Amino acid sequence: MAYIRIDNLVKMFGEQTVLDGVNINIEKGESIVVIGQSGCGKSVLLKHLLRLLEPTKGRVWFEGYDIATLNHRELIGIRQRIGMVFQSAALFDSLTVAENVGLGLRESRQYSTRQVEEIVMTKLELVAMVSAAEKFPAELSGGMRKRVALARAIATDPEVLLYDEPTTGLDPITADMINDLIVELKEKLNVTSIAVTHDMTSAFKIADRITMLYQGKVEYDGSPEETRSTDNAVVRQFIEGQARGPIQVR
């Protein structure tokens, strides 16, 4: 069985069906990028992997466990093995940058204060944010917050990383730095990653596999090379950024 398996996932908010039977299998160490239009349910999909949202129907499996059946303690255990970078960064605004990055470490009670400080500095260095360690999130730009969020997500060295639009709102150079970092995490630490984005440059750079979400279902699935030359009209329209085509702009 796949490392992570999303099995016929359906999510409705009231009358609105956001996910309408999504199936995705992810192998350990794989880096998969989910593309799709704004509002197609990418963030909703990611949140199901941490059980931040409950499926209306269908299941999410992690290492052979149906995460909906886990008890509180088991769920915490799995959440600590998965890191997530939220679309809005979601930094704790009452804590400094360094405290944000160190919170998960401190709360896990497995590290001394010194160790926490050291790890925090290493991670901030990776995202080039050491100089902002003592600042509060409100004092940072959007791109800086994203980088801190990434540092926070990798602080506990998770096995799986979920990136919700990690490069959106970043300048091209910083975006490329983040892309490099994502690739490096995968190659050096064998991190499994699921990234959600509509930044195709980033998608082609970090993906082993690209999946497209369209009208609540998986419309397409293929390697970056296949994706570049696909004749699927929906995917073509998306990666070429055309207003005209099968996808109606809502």
Ligand X SMILES: Nc1ncnc2c1ncn2[C@@H]1O[C@H](COP(=O)(O)OP(=O)(O)O)[C@@H](O)[C@H]1O
Residues that bind Mg ion in the complex, under the rule CB under 5 A: 43, 87
Identify any residues that bridge with 84 across adjacent strands, giving them in sequence order: 162
**Tokens 């055309």 sit at which residue?**
242
Any contact of residue 91 with other proteins (CB under 8 A)?
yes
Long-range contacts of 223-232 (CB under 8 A, 24+ apart): 228/204
114: exposed, middle or buried (Cβ count in 10 Å: 0-12, 13-18, 19+)? exposed
Give the number of residues in contact with ligand X, rule: CB under 6 A: 10
Q: Which does 39 bind (CB under 5 to 8 A by kind): other proteins, ligand X, Mg ion, none?
A: ligand X
Give residues with Cβ within 8 angstroms of 145, minimum separation 6.
89, 91, 137
Judged by DSSP in three states, 155 sits in coil
Sign of the torsion angle spanned by Cα atoms 25, 26, 32, 34: positive
**Per-residue tokens: 14:** 């009231």
36 vs 102, which CB is nearer to Mg ion?
36
CB 99 within 8 Å of CB 110: no
The H or E element spanning position 9 is strand 4-13
Site string for other proteins, 39-78 (x = CB under 8 A): --------x--x-x-----------------------xx-
Which residue lies nearest Mg ion, judged by its C-beta?
43
Any contact of residue 38 with ligand X (CB under 6 A)?
yes
Any contact of residue 184 with other proteins (CB under 8 A)?
no
The CA distance from 171 to 56, in Å, is 37
Least Å distance, CB 172 to other proteins, is: 26
Least Å distance, CB 164 to Mg ion, is: 6
Stretch that binds other proteins, among 19-27, 31-39, 88-96, 196-204 (CB under 8 A): 88-96
Least Å distance, CB 222 to other proteins, is: 29
8 vs 215, which CB is nearer to ligand X?
215
The CA distance from 103 to 54, in Å, is 26
Site string for other proteins, 143-182 (x = CB under 8 A): -------------x--------------------------
Least Å distance, CB 75 to ligand X, is: 20
Site string for other proteins, 99-138 (x = CB under 8 A): ----xx--xxx-----------------------------
Q: Residue 99: how many CB atoms within 10 A of its CB?
A: 18
- The footprint of ligand X (CB under 6 A) covers 13, 18, 36, 38-44
